[in-house]
Amino acid sequence: MTVEDWAEIRRLHRVDGMAIKAIARRLGVSRNAVRRALARDAPPRYERAAKGSLVDQVDPVVRGLLASCPTMPATVIAQRIGWTHSLTILKDRVRVLRPYYLAPDPATRTSYEAGQRVQCDLWFPPVDVPLGAGQVGSPPVLVMVAGYSRMMFATMLPSRQAPDLIAGHWRLLNAMGVVPRELVWDNEAAVGSWRAGKPKLTEEFEAFRGVLGIGVHQCRPRDPEAKGLVERANGYLETSFLPGRMFTSPGDFNTQLADWLVLANRRPHRALGCKPVERWTADRDAMLALPPVAPQLGWRARVRLPRDHYVRLGSNDYSVDPVAVGRFVEVIADLQQVTVRLGTRVVAVHERCWARWQTITDPAHRAAALEMASVAAHRPASSAAPDEVEQRDLGAYDVAFGLTDVA
């Protein structure tokens, strides 16, 4: 009997008041079938009788192996028990039995207070961005998501090393205009790691958070759920921002990303029931003010300028005014610019190059070096007489050691 027959029998009996014999005659079914349909409160459902499985024969052995080692792979179990049948049915049974032998590992739902936490992560967009010098790549994008409001902030960085990562943080915090009370990070090498079961920040990031006066929560290894907000934001960027876009440079990428984030933060958020921007005011008001003194940002190094008057940053060489050859200079670089100083004097300014293994030369530096080299080549040799060195009488040593009488 189909569900349609069952429903029609009950309608004819209840609504039209038809007798069992009349219903059986109209629908062409037996009277007993009508009686069974009227006696059932639920629709009929086909149920196949359960059949045994080949795995039933080895089920006790499989349970014993899982009891001794709950994480034992199904392929190893198959080898141990000499399984010669389909591996699929064995894997299905192991998948059902394994949770009974593993220790429970529940994940608690995290609640966020206004101004409390901002989750951070690096996203590597699967797209080729022109970096210059004919090179393309996928530089890291620093993504930050406010826990309470779900506001997203992001910017592309030249590298994932600590100076660039900290400079990227400062850029986004300035865009926010405030500082959260705590940043949430995983075990990114430039941020910190877990050692002997304890989290440990790098010296650079420790100094950065000290200037901000905030905390940094380091998630345990292999625990992506601990920062699920930013992980989902990475996926959202990949599926909603990237499709159909072309980029001419990292700067163009950041420009398009900033314009898109304005729209994304104004879209309704399903988990919030409102738009992130509608919660941002309360979130921002509960955060801390930016520190009065900016932290030390970017790359800083003090080197003696060699004769070829170039300094290296990352894998790239930048030219310097040759007037500083042989003297100590200070190399300062942020996300956009490389500056070299000789004391208070600026001896080089270059745009930061995102490509690798490049030589960036200022024409003025090359001309000055050629001129100085020409002057040095035509400088006349010195004609001054060599200095005369006094020759001491060897008898003075005999007198000094008392080997002869003084006259």
Q: What CATH number corresponds to the domain at position 205?
A: 3.30.420.10
What does the pLDDT read at residue 109?
A: 67
Mean pLDDT of the chain: 91
Residues 202 and 284 in one domain: yes
CA distance 195 to 42: 60
- Read off the pLDDT of each residue in 103-130 and give the average, rounded to a whole number: 88
Identify whether 34 is part of a domain.
yes
Q: Given this model, what pLDDT does residue 389 score?
A: 66
Q: Is residue 403 part of a domain?
A: no
Q: For residue 230, which phi and psi values (nearest 5 degrees)?
A: -75, -30
325 and 359 inside one domain: yes
CA atoms of 2 and 331, how far apart (whole Å) = 83
The yes-or-no verdict on residue 163 having pLDDT over 90 is yes
Same domain, 14 and 136: no
Q: Within a domain: residue 326? A: yes
303 and 283 housed in the same domain:
no
State whether 132 and 270 are in the same domain. yes
Q: Residue 14: its pLDDT value, please?
A: 86
d(CA 69, CA 200) in angstroms, rounded, equals 32
Q: Evaluate whether 280 touches 115 at the Cβ level (below 8 Å).
A: no
Task: Categorize the per-residue pLDDT at 16 as very low, low, confident or very high, splitting at 50, 70 and 90.
Answer: confident
- 342 strand-pairing partners: 345
Same domain, 221 and 316: no
341 and 368 belong to one structural domain: yes
User: Are the beta carbons of 238 and 125 closer than 8 angstroms?
Assistant: yes
Task: Compute the distance between CA of residue 153 and CA of residue 240 in angstroms, rounded to an integer.
Answer: 15
* Within a domain: 397: no
The verdict on 274 and 313 lying in the same domain is no
Say how many Å lie between the first and final Cα of the chain, rounded: 146
Cα separation of 327 and 345, whole Å?
Answer: 13
What H or E segment, with its residue span, contains residue 120? strand 117-123
Q: Which domain holds residue 231?
A: 117-289
Residue 400 lies inside a defined structural domain of this protein: no
- Check residue 387 and give its pLDDT: 65
Whether residue 399 is contained in a domain is answered as no
Does 142 share its domain with 242?
yes
Is residue 239 located within the same domain as residue 322? Answer: no
pLDDT band at 383 (very low <50, low <70, confident <90, very high): low
Quick check: is 66 in a domain? Answer: yes
Residue 405 pLDDT > 80: no
Q: Are residues 189 and 246 in the same domain?
A: yes
> How many domains is the chain built from?
4
Instruction: Note whether residue 405 is domain-resident.
Output: no
130 and 71 assigned to the same domain:
no
CB 67 within 8 A of CB 76: no
- Decide if pLDDT at 246 tops 80: yes
